[in-house]
Amino acid sequence: MPRTILVADDDPHIRQLLVFALAKAGLGTLEAADGEEALAVAEAQAPDLIVLDINMPRMDGLEVCRRLRAQGEVPILFLSSRDDEIDRILGIELGADDYVTKPFSPREVVARVMAILRRVAGRPPQVEQATSTIRHGQLALDPEGWQASWAGTPVTLTATEFGILRTLAVMPAKVFSRDAIIDRLRGPGFAVTDRTIDSHVRNLRAKFGQVGCQDIVETRAGIGYRIGACAG
């Protein structure tokens, strides 16, 4: 049976374009014209992935995402009309699996949908099994409590942000490519794509910068990321 994609957007023209492009790629489709309908269709039909517009009547896409993620881990690709919404999307606890900004190419949306589906269907995650507190410089991570602190000051992180930081901190000498980070995170709640890693890293730098840490993550151009010195 083909994978089924729910397209939720209040613009019928956008729905028509995406449904046509997804069907051409061999995917089944469902439609919803507002947030409440999207939630009802998702609960009744259990699609494999949801293409979800943020700005919809009756219930916005972020609220739909929160409610769906409280019930399960269906992958979600957001449609955003403004670039400045992206960090807000990726910064919420439930997060987005990926996003596309309007105007967009239907071909790009199909490509991102297929990439997410491949990630979700991939092998089980290869994650570090450390359960004791991880310390690096002034950074401390509690894997069991999913809590982070800097020089004793708690720093609130999303699950994905914590997972990225833990991946880097347990192997401080290693430079991880974006794909390698995704491989370590892959599993329930972590169906992220390579470019969303960059946004999560920006969020980590901003959050730790607020408590005085300017060296939380180091970028290696053309390669990826590793944990910074965390010396303050």
**Mean pLDDT on 98-115:** 88
* Average model confidence (pLDDT) across the chain: 84
Q: What is the pLDDT of residue 231?
A: 87
The secondary structure of residue 176, as a DSSP letter, is: B
Q: What is the pLDDT of residue 52?
A: 92
At 53, phi and psi to the nearest 5?
Answer: -70, 145
Lowest mean pLDDT among 6-15, 156-165, 183-192: 183-192
d(CA 18, CA 58): 22
Q: In the predicted model, is pLDDT for residue 69 greater than 50?
A: yes
Q: What is the pLDDT of residue 125?
A: 46
Confidence of residue 126 (pLDDT cuts 50, 70, 90): very low
**Mean pLDDT on 126-139:** 72
Q: What is the pLDDT of residue 132?
A: 79
**Mean pLDDT on 145-159:** 91
DSSP 66-120: HHHHTT----EEEEES-GGGHHHHHHSSS--SEEEESS--HHHHHHHHHHHHHHH
**Mean pLDDT on 6-35:** 95
At 180, phi and psi to the nearest 5?
Answer: -65, -40
Q: What is the pLDDT of residue 197?
A: 84
Q: Which of 100, 102, 96 is nearest to 65 (CA)?
A: 96
Q: What is the pLDDT of residue 39?
A: 92
Domains of the chain: residue spans and CATH: 4-120 (3.40.50.2300), 134-227 (1.10.10.10)
